[in-house]
Amino acid sequence: MNILVIGAGYVGLTMAVCFSELGHSVICIDKQKNKINTLLKGKLTTFEKNLDKLLIKNLKSKRLKFDISMKNVANADVVMISVGTPFDDSLNRYDQNAIYCVAKNITKFINKYTIIVIKSTVEVGTCDRVEQIIKEANPKADFDVVSIPEFLREGSAVYDFFNPDRIIMGTESQHAKDVIKKLYKPLKKKKFVFTSRCSSELIKCASNSFLATKIHFINEMADFCEKVGGNVYDVAHGMGLDKRIGVEFLKTGPGYGGGCLPKDTKALASLGKRVGANFNLIEAVICGNENRIKSFATKTLSFVENIKNAKIAFLGLAFKSGTDDCRFSPAIDIVLHLINKGTKVCVYDPAATKNARSVLKTKVSYAKNEYEAAKDADIMVFATEWKQFRSLDWAKLSKIVNSKIIFDMRNIVDRQEALKYGFECYKTGC
């Protein structure tokens, strides 16, 4: 099948590469020429595990192409729109202009039956609006607009693509259903869920908001454990074994971040308010998550308040491990709080330094590794759960730090091992 993916961001690029790996002929377009040129050379523009090999393999086989022209719509059986829908704070809703602009631009190239799939996370009713835009611009166009939300997680997006828990398909068109089923046919295990377009659009936003709620619940439980005793890790494990609860998304930390959970919770809460169906729970989650980030910064400072000119070694800047993405990263927000209080901070992240630099600029110093960051530090803070932080050489670190204090926001440090070398190790919820 001929697929056109519009938008080569974290989701669009992964989808384009993976659909070509399934055997389809895929063209991925993006208006950023530089990005397209880099991809044509077989180089990734984002950090994503296992995507590089598949990119090179499918470029070589010529099943995957990159371009900048909308003209490619003419040959496509399926057009997947995967452009950004950032949250617009002034309007308190997603900025969907990019989607509507693409809808207008593709219209003149539709010359046969084409399925337009909305992959971006959008407000309920967007598919209807896209359909209307295309119909108004080209009343003769033969097409269906379908909602198939994407549930890929950054850092494990390739795995998620080939092992989806479910494929949600929002459409009333039997023909579109048949074509899309064919599209996913090479996937071994798959479970289709057919719904209306509105329900499909809501499933995505509701899923991310529910995940955020789950994380915030365990974060509050962690605070409670610190007050009354108990270990949040054990509590989460014991709770999660109940199938109705599930073990996933019960890891405590400095709060959820990234390009999705923060904006989807805000979008759902504000839309609820607009239509008179308040999401009091989600509003509490949003507020609690924002306060948590601030309180983690305050807590970090409290560990070094008696040290003059304290230096903080801050490890981990991405919003989670396995990605270079710093959008709405709790780690970045915490660093910003720390430097606003005049504290000296030296940062290190295995993948996200380049993106972090565009926000933190010259207000912090940048280390090449954990040990360089820890040199003369008065506290080591672990804010992102990178695997390599779990196996540090504590003997070496004990000789280079100034004060042996650890604040482990993600519970990744082996406390017993650190204690052996004289470190005080403060964890979260235990």
Contact footprint for ligand UGA (CB under 6 A): 11, 121, 150-154, 208, 211, 215, 249-251, 253, 256-258, 260-261, 319-320
Contacts of residue 100, defined as CB under 8 A and 6 or more positions apart, other chains included, come to: 129, 130, 133
Q: Label residues 215-234 b or e (16+ Cβ within 10 Å = b).
A: bbbbbbbbbebeeeeeebbe
The residues pairing with 3 across neighbouring beta strands, listed in sequence order, are 26, 78
Select 256 or 426, whichever has its Cβ closest to ligand UGA: 256
Select 80 or 250, whichever has its Cβ closest to ligand UGA: 250
Minimal distance, residue 355 CB to ligand UGA, in Å: 14
Minimal distance, residue 156 CB to ligand UGA, in Å: 8
123 vs 145, 172, 282, CA distance in Å? 15, 19, 16
Minimal distance, residue 5 CB to ligand UGA, in Å: 15
Select 65 or 204, whichever has its Cβ closest to ligand UGA: 204
Cα(158)–Cα(51) distance, rounded to whole angstroms?
7
Select 260 or 338, whichever has its Cβ closest to ligand UGA: 260
Question: CA end-to-end span of the chain, whole Å?
Answer: 53
- Report the candidate in 320, 352, 316, 322 with the shortest Cα–Cα distance to residue 335: 316
The amino acid sitting at 130 is V
Cα(50)–Cα(257) distance, rounded to whole angstroms?
23
Minimal distance, residue 232 CB to ligand UGA, in Å: 11
Select 258 or 350, whichever has its Cβ closest to ligand UGA: 258
Q: Token pair of 118, please?
A: 């909305």
Select 251 or 266, whichever has its Cβ closest to ligand UGA: 251
Contact assessment for residue 343 and residue 310, using Cβ atoms and an 8 Å cutoff: yes
Minimal distance, residue 199 CB to ligand UGA, in Å: 17
Cα(89)–Cα(240) distance, rounded to whole angstroms?
35
Helix (H) or strand (E) holding 118: strand 114-118
Cα(344)–Cα(334) distance, rounded to whole angstroms?
13
Minimal distance, residue 149 CB to ligand UGA, in Å: 8
Active site residues: 260
